[in-house]
Amino acid sequence: MNHIVSMKWLLARLYEPDLVIVDCRFTLGQPDQGRTAYDETHIPRAVYLDLEKDLSSPAAQHGGRHPLPDMEQLASAFGKAGIHQEARVVIYDDQGGMMASRLWWMLKYTGHEQAYVMDEGFTAWKKASYPVTDETPVVIPVTYEPSLQPAMLASMEDVRAASKDGSHILIDSRDPRRYAGIEEPLDVKAGHIPGAVNYFWKGVQDASGHWKDAQALQEHFSGISKDAQVIVYCGSGVSACPNVLALKEAGYTNVKLYAGSWSDWISYEENPISTGEE
């Protein structure tokens, strides 16, 4: 697999100097919980990056619940975490890879080549009796030079056009009940973007919480042509990222993230909403 590494892989390389390990644990609705969990215990050498403080801007009228951060601020956060362009970055969380995939996507979007998500998560690491610590590592700050990849990002206008003309396949990564508009625990309007198909992000993993291999992911996405132009969204641009990563693993090359996602789409009164199945 190109973007996923096993816990054993990380264990074997834990102290290699070019490796930066990032803990991304975060619980939506309980913004301090991830940092508290990190302070209590984490993988040795891991630094902590926070979904809302480091990997998002504050929410505004538009842009969704987790807008992309200012790129200068993001580069500063990466530099403070010891991430430079030659580093190999391994990211983990305890949320099924949702938060880790968001950071993976942001590294890729800023031109970073060697970014990986650790399979499973911190609880599995602990259960395997692998080493943990409560010591915060001493990090020597570096300069991170972003090289933005605009082809990875879809704007609301791109999504609006795709919804009308079918030029891109729109993938909604949320739970099927949210997609269908049956329930909506987080946003003020329920439903989905007209024309979008539903691939719940948790479908890219098996029952035991391992990421599926490339072949299984190809089967999972077999309803979508490999040549298709794909735009992926979710509620706020976080749980869409595991689907983006999985599509890349499955060999799809033209995949964009709509970072504002549903929470941005519904902030424009004129945008249409669909409910039920497509």
Instruction: Write down the number of H helices and E strands in the chain.
Output: 10, 9
CA 104, 110, 170, 194 dihedral sign is positive
Measured from the Cβ of residue 184, the count of other Cβ atoms closer than 10 Å reads 16
Cα separation, 278 vs 272, in Å, equals: 14
Q: From the candidates 234, 240, 241, 255, which is the catalytic residue? A: 234
> Quick one: angle between helices 240-249 and 98-109, nearest 10?
70
Give the span between the Cα atoms of 219 and 222, in whole angstroms.
Answer: 5
**Annotated catalytic residue 234:** yes
- Rounded CA-CA distance 253/178 in Å is 28
Q: Supply the DSSP symbol for 192.
A: B
Residue pointed to by tokens 């215990």:
41
Contacts of 125 (CB under 8 A, 6+ apart): 7, 43, 92, 118, 132
Dihedral of the alpha carbons of 252, 253, 254, 259, in degrees to the nearest 10: 80
* CA 5, 236, 172, 254 torsion-angle sign: negative
Q: Cα 47 to chain center, whole Å?
A: 18
d(CA 104, CA 119): 13
Residues assigned a catalytic role:
234
